[in-house]
Amino acid sequence: MSQVERLKEFKKSVRNKFNIYNSLFLNLPYTDTENVGVYIPLLFRQCEKGLEAGKNPMEILEDFFANYAEIETEKERIDFMFKIIQYVERQVVLYDSVEDAAFPRLHELTDSLSIRD
């Protein structure tokens, strides 16, 4: 099977399913923080813009908290960032699970699967 066909099957079996499941998780309630998943793309974009502007990580986070999250105390900010990390960890586990579930189908399409495949 060609690389293009394998990539198409990977997108169908892994990427699309991950996007569906992940979108469901985006709006799940988290203790003391509403819609933590919605903040991740905002934080990502803020980091990109801040780094391009030559800002340091503390400045980037200060801007993020001032413009989007409106979290003022140090403890609340640490708790918020911990929830962000937890959420990202869940995304990693979700992606790995979807990929593992798709492995038998993807393996049928080729004799071997390596990192390059």
- What is the DSSP code (8-state) at residue 73? S
The answer to whether 50 touches 60, Cβ cutoff 8 Å, is yes
Residues 109, 2: Cα–Cα separation, whole Å: 9
Distance, CA of 108 to chain centre: 28
Q: Give the residue-averaged pLDDT of 60-73.
A: 91
pLDDT exceeds cutoff 80 at 116: no
pLDDT of residue 24: 84
CA distance 85 to 88: 5
Over the stretch 13-56, which tens digit does the pLDDT of each residue have? Answer: 899 999 998 888 776 766 666 678 888 999 999 999 999 999 99
28 token code pair: 């799940």
- Contact residues for 64 (Cβ-Cβ < 8 A; gap 6+): 42, 43, 46
